[in-house]
Amino acid sequence: MIELVPVASDATGRRDQQIRLLGPDDRVELEALMARDERANLFVRHRVAETGLRSLMLGGTMLGCFRDGRLVAACHCGANLVPVEADAEAVDGFARQLLLTGVAPGMRRSASLVGRQAAVMRLWSRLEQDWGPARSVRADQPFLAIDGEPAVAPDPRLRRVMIDEVDVLYPASVAMFREEVGIDPEAGGSAGYRARVAQLVARGWAFAIIEDGEVLFKTEVGAAAGGVCQLQGVWVHPDHRGRGIAAPALAGVVRVVQRDVASDVTLYVNDFNTAARATYARVGLRQVDTFASILL
């Protein structure tokens, strides 16, 4: 069991808190915590639903912050470091624990931090000296959601990617990752990333416009839990950008996903990506929160 780290205090006086590992026995309390904002906490909700908080399946650890014996915040610690409902004191407690023990056995740091802006930026300020420098600091990422149906008509060419089309989709997925994340997902071999793409296709979570064996547009559902899902990897082939493909294609995705996966569709976008933001606004997505991401 990970060492407990006492932390104090706020302006109203001392408030002891403890940081410890969460396990399957903590699932009910953690789910209640995450339910405070089902959209913002979706990634961790999805991970908990998939793994049941079993560490071998989680691929990392889940830290909890307790005050007076009550769970008040959590932090998913793996390749992605994701705080959940964490105020400043909880963030500081998680940072101290991470600097003391690392993310998980054999893993000193994560590959990225992502989540609500205030928590992520404070967490990074506590970890940067030891974990930095970052490859990219994306401090302002509008978090979007859509109420009701898309505001534009869907492109009839948009459809689910079939399992025998993984070879067609995969190059587009690699191109998107290199462009968006700034690193090559195949740097350590293609098996891991290819398996992830194939998994999304097998679930029916990958969508594309494919013509003559070429992907013109693609996106996936990256996470889903309860009635909420999150889109990721929205990409248009460079030769087809500026032609108005993205909005009708995304509208088609939203319609299918609302019907078959989750009625509440979300995504987040870099503030500087003005073209993407304009597309999302056309479809009917509106900003409901602000995220930040730190890429290491």
Q: What is the pLDDT of residues 201-222, one digit of tens each?
A: 999 999 999 999 999 999 999 9
What would the pLDDT profile of 158-175 be if each residue is shown by its tens digit?
999 999 999 999 999 999
Nearest 5°: the CA angle 267, 198, 142 is 10
- Write down the pLDDT at residue 55: 80
- Write down the pLDDT at residue 10: 36
Helices (H), the chain: 27-34, 42-51, 55-58, 88-101, 117-131, 166-181, 191-203, 246-260, 274-283
Q: Which residues of 128-166 are buried (b: 16+ CB within 10 A; e: fewer)?
A: eeebeebeebbeebbbbbbeeebebebbeebebbeeebb
| The pair of three-digit structure tokens given for residue 4, joined into one six-digit string | 């407990």
Q: Which residues contact 25 (CB under 8 A, 6 or more apart)?
A: none
Alpha carbon distance 84, 292 (integer Å): 13
pTM: 0.92
Domains and CATH numbers, the chain: 5-133 (3.40.630), 146-290 (3.40.630.30)
For residue 135, pLDDT over 90 is answered with yes
Q: 169 near 208, Cβ under 8 Å?
A: yes
Q: 112 near 295, Cβ under 8 Å?
A: yes
For residue 293, pLDDT over 90 is answered with yes
- Where is pLDDT greater, at 2 or 268? 268
CA 49 vs CA 27, 108, 148, 209, 232: distances in Å: 9, 25, 26, 30, 19
Is the omega angle on the peptide bond into residue 9 within 30 degrees of 0, that is, cis? yes
- Write down the pLDDT at residue 58: 87
Q: What is the mean pLDDT of residues 268-283?
A: 97
Q: Which residues contact 278 (CB under 8 A, 6 or more apart)?
A: none
Q: 265 near 145, Cβ under 8 Å?
A: yes
CA 31 vs CA 68, 85, 224, 225: distances in Å: 19, 12, 14, 11
Bridging pattern class, strands 264-268 and 80-84: unpaired
What is the widest separation between alpha-carbon atoms in the chain?
67
- Write down the pLDDT at residue 188: 80
- Write down the pLDDT at residue 15: 62
Phi, psi of 17 (to 5 degrees): -145, 155
Most confident range (mean pLDDT) of 97-111, 112-126, 183-197 is 112-126
